[in-house]
Amino acid sequence: MSTQGQAIADLWDRTFNKGDTTGLGKLYSEDGQVIPAGGSPVRGAEGIAAFFADLQAKGFKDHKITVQDAVEKGDILILTGRWSLSGPGEGGATQSYGGNWVNVLERRGDGWSTVLHIWN
């Protein structure tokens, strides 16, 4: 596991969990995209921020990413691992969700921006 990769994932989790969806959108590149499990791609910082704001409005919370592997190839960083969060289930009960997670990031100056975020 990459310490740097987990730090990037932890920043994403903190930003999501405090409800800062505008800040979340800023973690993505201008041409970044999110491809949700079974869903259509969402592109750009504003669209991504709106997508996650909608998830939060539906009651999804307590997101946690565990990075299991990191591969750095020049200005590209590929992170893979597991994700989990809680949200509404059948009958209004809180349910746990989780699965596999992949983030592809591009070096921008002295930091990283997500260009592709996908999960199942």
55-109 pLDDT, tens digit each: 999 999 999 999 999 999 999 999 999 999 999 988 889 999 999 999 999 999 8
Give the number of other CB atoms < 10 A from CB of residue 12: 20
How far apart (Å, rounded) are the C-alpha atoms in residues 112 and 18?
A: 21
Q: Is the pLDDT of residue 1 over 70?
A: no
The pTM of the whole model exceeds 0.85: yes
Q: Give residues with Cβ within 8 angstroms of 92, minimum separation 6.
A: none
Q: Which residue in 30, 33, 114 sits closest to 76, CA to CA?
A: 114
pLDDT on residue 5:
93
Strands 61-73, 76-88: pairing is antiparallel
- How do strand 94-108 and strand 76-88 relate by DSSP bridges? antiparallel
